[in-house]
Amino acid sequence: MTKLLSIRLVAILVGLGFALIALYSFVLGAYAWMTEEPAGHLPYEEPRDIAFSFDGPFGKWDIQQLQRGFKVYDEVCAACHSLKFVAFRDLEQLGYDEGQVKAFAASKQVPGIDPNTGEATTRPGLPTDYFPDPYPNNVAAAAANNNAIPPDLSLMTKARGDGVNYVASLLSGYSEPTAELLAEHPEAAPGPGLYHNPYFPNLNLAMAPPLTTTGQVTYDDGTEATVEQMSTDVAAFLAWTAEPTMVQRKQTGWPVLIFLLFATVLAYLSKQQIWAAAKPKKD
């Protein structure tokens, strides 16, 4: 019995030792991550905190803003960036009727097959088609953009940290690097074909400022199309393309949460009722 207790005690001590080592390593690594700057780190800015109608648990889409953002994408961003996970018919969710969607789809050329020759060709789009890629392949995309392939924007706000704020901040954040920045970080100077943007992690990117002047897009609702407004609107539109069911998810979550709370209370009361007879009676 004494030998068995000794073995158990040793096992417990060994396990406790491993746990303490793991905890120490975790704390040490977390401290290093929070206090040390990685090699080559450049002082980029965190995205601005912008208020959107769909923020928070009770958020809702601002349909007019989504339509404005779609117009910015169509007239500016679509020249380089695709939306390969969005179909033309999805635009009905933004308040466009069937005729408008059909007309818009027909105005775009999508890949097709010639029924007579079997060769690849293009044809007017249908509502069931997806937004076409502006380039036939990555080689052509890189050749037209200083060897940088423009990313697809369908899920962009999900692919970046604080995605919606990041997109809006990036699009309106182009500027010239300050003298203080260049003095401290000479490597931050934009190279050939690069443009300075304090919200981009390495401060310089190949995409030229896409939104440059007020009135670059004419909004149907009369809103003044400033660079800030267009940036915010297209960021909201890309939030919708990345998660079009966001609002429905939030609206569904509350009834589910209330049901779970009710079920928990009901289960607790049932347990109390069932086990009441099993409790020992006091003398």
3-state class of 263 per DSSP?
helix
Compute the mean pLDDT over every residue in the chain, rounded to the nearest whole number: 87
Domain locations along the chain: 61-244
Classify burial at 199, counting beta carbons within 10 Å of its beta carbon; exposed 0-12, middle 13-18, buried 19 or more. buried
Q: Does the predicted TM-score (pTM) go above 0.85?
A: no
* pLDDT tens-place string over residues 47-65: 999 999 999 888 999 999 9
Q: Assess whether pLDDT exceeds 60 at residue 184.
A: yes
Measured from the Cβ of residue 279, the count of other Cβ atoms closer than 10 Å reads: 8
Least confident of 71-75, 92-96, 138-142, 276-280: 276-280
Res. 123 pLDDT band, cuts 50 70 90: confident
Annotated binding site for heme c: 77, 80-81, 207
Q: How many Cα atoms within 13 Å fall on the side-chain side of residue 112? A: 14
Q: Assess whether pLDDT exceeds 80 at residue 141.
A: yes
Domain 61-244: give its CATH superfamily.
Answer: Cytochrome c-like domain (1.10.760.10)
Q: What is the mean pLDDT of residues 111-121?
A: 81
Least confident of 24-28, 209-213, 214-218: 24-28
Least confident of 62-66, 155-159, 192-196, 255-259: 255-259
Query: Alpha carbon of 218 to those of 221, 230, 237: distances in Å?
Result: 9, 10, 16
Annotated binding site: 77, 80-81, 207
Residue 119 pLDDT: 80
Res. 153 pLDDT band, cuts 50 70 90: very high
Alpha helix stretches (DSSP H) within the chain: 2-35, 63-75, 98-106, 138-143, 156-159, 163-172, 179-184, 227-242, 246-275
Q: Do residues 162 and 45 lie in contact, with contact meaning Cβ atoms separated by under 8 Å?
A: no
Q: What is the mean pLDDT of residues 186-209?
A: 90
**d(C-alpha 76, C-alpha 86), whole Å:** 17
Sign of CA dihedral 180, 161, 248, 250: negative
